[in-house]
Structure formats: structure tokens, C-alpha cells
Amino acid sequence: MAFAEAVPRARSGIPGPDDPLWYKDAILYELHVKAFFDSNDDGIGDFLGLIEKLDYIQDLGVTALWLLPTYPSPQRDDGYDISDYMSIQPAYGTLPDFEAFVDAAHSRGLRVITELVMNHTSDQHPWFQAARRDPSSHYRDYYVWSDTDQRYRDARIIFTDTEPSNWTWDPVARQYFWHRFFSHQPDLNFDNPAVVDEMMRVLRFWLDRGVDGLRLDAIPYLFEREGTNCENLPEGHEYLRQVRAEIDQAYVNRMLLAEANQWPPDVRPYFGEGDECQMAFHFPLMPRIYMALRKETRTPIVEILAQTPEIPPTCQWGLFLRNHDELTLEMVTDDERDYMYSEYARDPRMRVNVGIRRRLAPLLDNSRRRQELLHSLLFSMPGTPILYYGDEIGMGDNVYLGDRNGVRTPMQWNGDRNAGFSRADPQALFLPLVIDPVYHYQAINVEAQRRGPSSLYNWMRRLIAIRKRYPVFGRGDIEFLHPSNLTVLAYLRCYEGQTILVVNNLSRFVQPVELDLRAFQGFVPIELFGETVFPRIGEAPYFLSLGPHTFYWFRLEKSC
């Protein structure tokens, strides 16, 4: 798998000193190019439009952009059905436009993370079209074929709403092909060395263009073995170690982010011994944050983090509240799933596959306090926080749109035509704007919130700025406190002599709490948002009173 054409240890182009652990201090901003800003009035966002809005992203304070797929695609799965790995979807621009975007982002100190969908292609990809037409084609073994649909019967069906089987009959090939997702997305055959080499060429192609990180979509499903559930197989980890070794040999400070929607013990191997992916999403934590909020008890959060194994010191969890997909409920029990549906998705239209297709603000009934509280958790838990575009202004959704499109609507820039997203005919937009009375773009938009000092947007800017001042949030350990009041979630974050105390009230009512802080006797808590000095810690339990759905971040300093 050696490719001599890559420049050894190539930098991405980001200015400043080298930091191989940059992702530990990062704050990621996830966006869809087509949903952000339209520069050519065709109703679809593009790279030139994204370049125009980079100053906004820089001003928000985030440090890295995660772009959803931008490859050529039939768009039957919002770009995750790729028909060409080495180009750009024409509606989004050209390859030079992408390169200009990367340069513009780097010049502002913003790193760029893109998608790499390794597991499958579109059925319109030239590889698949050649494979299905000719059994003797070089590309036939690029995919997994069978004369029967009874193989790998222990593998679960992921898209239960639309797919009755993981096998689909192809009338041209006169065989079944394997797919873990939609039937128009045939899985690649990673037992074929030619496929492995193709993927390495794709990796190098984008890393050579300055990409700082790659999100590896659907990474647990690359290999199939009879008698298993075809997930998390040893062959997949061996392949990831090969990929990581190739990248580390040729590039500097690049990052791999694993999308593995699994229980924490099953995700842990994707870090390897620090020789596979540097980051992985913590999927099971996210629904339990919502459960803890609605049940008004810290137990779901504490229990799932207690089940989370230690990871290598060079690795990091990726944390999120919402993203472009449904709020997945795969990693919860049946009873927990029923509870989440009853509390957060009573209308069946809010459900898709095994999850809830809603944005953050509607999930929280547009409560400002609850949005702030959950962002406090997101930004103070161990890991790297990921913010979904529009959540910084409290954007709404549209449950009447199909699939997961209701959370992928155009960014709301102002109250003018098309929310300032595009000058196209409103009917030409790739998706309709949110015009719900509560979340209407004339009420919820960037321009209005920038003008309001107390807006959610300006509060988010302050939260991000505070997080960036304290490396302990991205690199420190966590120690939970155990007050008798279960509605209060309190923990210490410690790193290189710095200690932060975080106290969260999960209840909708005022709550008292007594904290055992005897280990910090003589220290003084200083609240981080206002630099307010609180009473010195003594031998007695430390008493605090918390308003409904409020939180404190304290810096503990020795008193003089």
C-alpha cells in the first residue's frame, strides 16, 4: 500500500506551531455546504458562498469545520451515495473552489474535516455499473455478490423503515448484492486488495489538498464474516491500522474520526493503542443527556460514563447534542427508547428509523435555559464538542419533510427573502425554509441575534471563548461528585494543576446542593462567566443554590 507520489510528512497549510493533539482543544462546527450560503442564485449553497461566510464562523469562535459529503452523487442519501470519490458535486462548485475554500479556512485558523464514505458507493458509481454488467470485469469483486440472500443472516438491518433485507437482487448482474444501508448503496468488498488500494488513493487525494481530518462514515461494517453480526470485526481494525500508518508516514497532524454507532466497549477498539482513529463519537452519551434532563436525575449520564472505558492519551471522544441524522436511539434499551419517544417524539412524524428527527431547540420546547444547560454539558464533558449549524441561533425544523431533511434546511441569515440564504426564486431552494410561527426565519436569524447582546448566539460566543481559555476541558480527567440531591450533576475537571468545578441543575425547579469539597479546603471558587468570587471552601459541605435548569463553572484557586 505504498504510494511514492505523496510528499513525505506534508503539512495541511494551517498556520501556527505544530500540535499533533489539536483535536483535543478543537470545537467543531458541522455544516452542509448546500445549506449554508448560495453565491450563484441557483437555490443551492456552494463553496464560494461558504467562503463568504467564513468570517461568521471565525467570529463564532469554533476552530474546525466538518463538512458533510461534497462528492458527485445522485443525492438519494444526501451525498452519502457517492458516484465519484475524486471530484466535487457540480452544484457546490469545482475542485479549485474547494481548494480555495481550504486555503481561506486555513488563513483564518480554521481546520477542515471532510467525509469519507468507505463502506459503500452509489449504485450509479462507474465501478458498480461495470461490475453488474460483466461478471469477468475487474470491478466485479469490488462489491459483495451472492446467488442467495441467506448469507450473513446474523447481521441486523439498520434502516428498518425502508429496507427488508441487507441483500438486493440485481436483474442485470443476476445476483444479489450486499448493502448495510439503502439498497441503492452497494457495499464495497474490502477483502479485495484492489478496493483497499483505491481507498488509499482517495485518502491521499484529499489529504494532498490540505484536509486536516476525515470522518470515516459507517466504519464498523467494512467486512463480512459468516456466523457474526458483521460489525466490529478484527479485519476492520487491521485495515484501520494500515490506513493510519500510511497517513502518519506521509502527513503531519491529520486526524481520523470514527463514526461507530456502538456501545462504548465496542467503540474502544477503534482507537487501538493510539494507532487507529484519533477520535470517535460517543453515541450512547447523547440520548442519555436528554433522558437525564427529562427525568431530572443525573443517573443516566453517570452510568453511561462509568461504562465508558479508558482510551489512549492521544485519543479523544467526539461529543454532540444533535447532528444531520436522527437523534439515534440504537444504543439504548427498549424501555429507554419507548421513554424517549413518549417524551420527545409523540408525533410519529418526528420518528425515523430508530431515532428522532428533530433539531435541538424544538426538542427542548424552545427553552433558552435548557439549551444553555445542555450546551454546558456538551462543552464541559470529557471530549471535543461538535456544534450543528443553526443550533447557535436556535433554528427550528420541519417534520413534514421526508427522511431527515427536516433538520437540513437552509441557514437563516436574516429576515429578508429566503432568509438571506439565496437570491433565487423561493421555489428553487433545495429545501423550503422553516416558516413555523415559533421558529420562522424572520424571528430566528443571525442578523437579529448579532444585534441582541443577550441573544443565544452571543451567549454561545461567550461559552466558546471560555472553553478555549481552559485546556482542562479538552484534556483533563473527570471526577464525579455524589451529592444526595440526584437532580444535581456535579463533577471536577483536572489537568496540569488546573481544577474546574461544574455544577448542573437538571431540574425545572430551584434546587439546593451540598458538595463534598474537603479535598479543596482553603480554595476559593471563581465563577468563570463573571469572574465572581464565591466563599472559601471549608471543612463543612459546600452549599449552593441553583435556579431551574442552571449551571455553574468554577475555577478553584488557592486563597492567599
Would you name the residues annotated as active-site residues? 217, 259
**C-alpha–C-alpha distance, residues 56 and 171, integer Å:** 50
Other C-beta atoms lying within 10 Å of the C-beta of residue 351 = 21
Cell of 384: 471535543
DSSP 293-335: HHHT-SHHHHHHHHTSPP--TT-EEEEES--SS-EE-TTS-HH
CA neighbor of 273 nearest in space, from 307, 232, 240, 231: 240
Tally the residues of the chain. 560
Classified as helix, coil or strand, 368 is helix
SS3 of 501-552: the string is EEEEECCCCCEEEEECCHHHCCEEEEECCCCEECCCCCCCCEEEEECCCCEE
Long-range contacts of residues 429-437, Cβ cutoff 8 Å, at least 24 apart = 429/43, 429/44, 430/34, 430/35, 430/43, 430/44, 430/45, 431/35, 431/398, 431/401, 431/405, 432/398, 432/401, 433/409, 434/395, 434/396, 434/397, 434/398, 434/409, 436/396, 436/398
Secondary structure element (H or E) that encloses residue 247, with its range: helix 234-250
Pairing of strands 213-217, 351-352: unpaired
